[in-house]
């Protein structure tokens, strides 16, 4: 049976953090110091988890971290993942009059049986230039590169890494040449650091032919510096970009996290992911596996579920599937960012996998 939570959401997207080590120390994510690590698992363990979950209705796997390209053998792991075949999710057969509306949440994730798994990667891009083509050849479908300034000095201030900018730009261009497409660039906006980069990123999207997606800063950072005033909101981003060029909204699938816009002249696309000012939890289709093999049902979960412990005790694939069904049944309805009852997540972003 396909995976559904108790709110009727189909779980089709899996994010696997393959390490919680990172070579960057971005201000919105980490402190400037090395913290303790949860550690990571052999790829064979992640592969088994992915195989069981793909058998349960997962159609898309995103590798993340930490920085996933720090792991040796990530190319071989992608090659093995690419052999998995989603089971296919049929839209529910409609008996009521509003069948089209009922089927809508399934449309973006629907895969025909036998169609390849959608394998994506989120990376800071520092090591991507050398690896883009091998990853593409191994079966990677798409890549998202995080880049928070188009000005090299500002980039260094945010990432706390000198000279990273040229590596990342080379990585983006190599990914494009390799055909890792569509290519998205994620920019977390944090007031006081990079809100003046909005228009330069609009220009960048047009010049480089990439989709730049602005992300609202969420309270998942190690330094606990988040406050509502540090968030650069969707409305503010749109207003600033409109000073540069008019935008036209592009219709997007309900399960997509980003609102999408193209420039009116047809050149360039941007997206805005606004979990703080415009939450989209009602359409969440994700679960995450941390680098140490725990399932998290929400970025803001205050607990996680030890899938790897089940494997260590010798659980069969069927027992793992039962465990996963039980975990997904506990998926949170929504996050509570900015509300009086907000409780910080039990892990920060670098140890969850964004």
Backbone angles phi, psi at 293, to 5 degrees: 85, 25
Which residue has the closest beta carbon to ligand SAM? 354
Joined tokens for residue 203? 């220009």
Residues 6+ apart with CB under 8 A from 112: 88
Binding status of residue 127 toward ligand SAM by CB under 6 A: no
Binding status of residue 271 toward ligand SAM by CB under 6 A: no
How far apart are CB 186 and ligand SAM at their closest, in Å? 4
Tell which positions 175-204 bind ligand SAM, by CB under 6 A.
Answer: 186, 188
DSSP annotation of 199 reads: H
How far apart are CB 195 and ligand SAM at their closest, in Å? 14
End-to-end CA distance of the chain: 27
Binding status of residue 214 toward ligand SAM by CB under 6 A: no
Taking CB under 6 A as the criterion, the residue among 12, 19, 59, 64 binding ligand SAM is 64
Binding status of residue 290 toward ligand SAM by CB under 6 A: no
Q: What is the secondary structure of 269-299 as a DSSP string?
A: EEEEE-TTTS--GGG--EEEE-TTSEEESST
Measured distance CA(303)–CA(285) in Å, rounded: 19
Residues 6+ apart with CB under 8 A from 331: 5, 6, 7, 9, 11, 284, 287, 297, 298
Binding status of residue 132 toward ligand SAM by CB under 6 A: no
Binding status of residue 121 toward ligand SAM by CB under 6 A: no
Binding status of residue 19 toward ligand SAM by CB under 6 A: no
Binding status of residue 289 toward ligand SAM by CB under 6 A: no
Measured distance CA(6)–CA(9) in Å, rounded: 7
Measured distance CA(168)–CA(154) in Å, rounded: 14
The 10 Å Cβ neighbour count of residue 75 is 18
Taking CB under 6 A as the criterion, the residue among 221, 222, 269, 292 binding ligand SAM is 221
Query: Among 198, 222, 201, which Cα is nearest to 145's?
Result: 201
Query: With CB under 6 A as the contact rule, which of the stretches 74-82, 91-99, 120-128, 134-142 interacts with ligand SAM?
Result: 120-128
The 10 Å Cβ neighbour count of residue 240 is 18
Binding status of residue 354 toward ligand SAM by CB under 6 A: yes
Among residues 232 and 307, whose Cβ is nearest to ligand SAM? 232
Among residues 171 and 202, whose Cβ is nearest to ligand SAM? 171
Binding status of residue 70 toward ligand SAM by CB under 6 A: no
How far apart are CB 348 and ligand SAM at their closest, in Å? 8
Binding status of residue 14 toward ligand SAM by CB under 6 A: no
Residues binding ligand SAM: what is the number (CB under 6 A)? 20
Query: With CB under 6 A as the contact rule, which of the stretches 49-57, 122-130, 279-287, 302-310 interacts with ligand SAM?
Result: 122-130
**Residue 283: HSE in the Cβ half-sphere, 13 Å Cα cutoff:** 19
Measured distance CA(119)–CA(32) in Å, rounded: 31
Cα 290–Cα 296–Cα 302 angle in degrees, nearest 5: 115
Binding status of residue 122 toward ligand SAM by CB under 6 A: yes
Residues making contact with ligand SAM (CB under 6 A): 22, 28-29, 64-65, 67, 122-124, 146, 186, 188, 215, 217-218, 220-221, 349-350, 354
């Amino acid at each position: 049976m396909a995976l559904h939570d108790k709110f009727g959401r189909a779980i089709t997207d899996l994010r696997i953090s393959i390490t919680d080590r990172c070579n960057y120390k971005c201000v919105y994510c980490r402190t400037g110091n090395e913290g303790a690590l949860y550690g990571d698992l052999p790829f064979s363990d992640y592969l088994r988890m992915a195989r069981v979950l793909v058998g349960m209705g997962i159609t898309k796997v995103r590798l993340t971290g930490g920085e996933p390209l720090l792991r040796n053998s990530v190319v071989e792991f992608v090659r093995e993942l690419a052999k998995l075949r989603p089971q296919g999710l049929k839209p529910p057969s409609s008996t009521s009059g509003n069948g089209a509306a009922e089927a809508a949440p399934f449309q973006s994730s629907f895969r025909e049986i036998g169609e390849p798994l959608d394998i994506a990667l989120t990376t800071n891009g520092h090591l991507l230039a050398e690896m883009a083509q091998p990853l593409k050849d191994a079966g990677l479908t798409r890549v998202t590169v995080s880049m928070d300034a188009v000005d090299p000095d500002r980039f260094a201030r945010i990432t706390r890494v000198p000279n990273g900018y040229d590596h990342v730009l080379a990585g983006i261009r190599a990914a494009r040449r390799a055909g890792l497409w569509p290519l998205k660039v994620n920019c977390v906006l944090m007031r006081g650091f990079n809100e003046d980069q909005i228009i330069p990123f609009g220009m960048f999207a047009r010049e480089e032919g990439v989709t730049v997606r602005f992300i609202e800063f969420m309270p998942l950072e190690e330094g606990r510096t988040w406050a509502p005033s540090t968030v650069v909101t969707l409305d503010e981003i749109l207003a600033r970009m409109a000073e540069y060029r008019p935008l036209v909204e592009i219709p997007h699938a309900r399960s997509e996290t980003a609102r999408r816009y193209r420039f009116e002249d047809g050149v360039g696309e941007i997206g805005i992911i606004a979990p703080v000012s415009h939450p989209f939890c009602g359409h969440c289709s994700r679960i995450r596996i941390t680098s140490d093999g725990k399932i998290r049902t929400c970025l803001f979960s205050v607990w996680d579920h030890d899938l790897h412990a089940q494997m260590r005790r010798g659980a069969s694939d069927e027992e793992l599937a039962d465990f996963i069904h039980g975990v997904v049944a506990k998926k949170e309805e929504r996050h509570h960012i900015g509300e009086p009852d907000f409780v910080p997540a039990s892990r920060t972003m670098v140890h969850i996998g964004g």
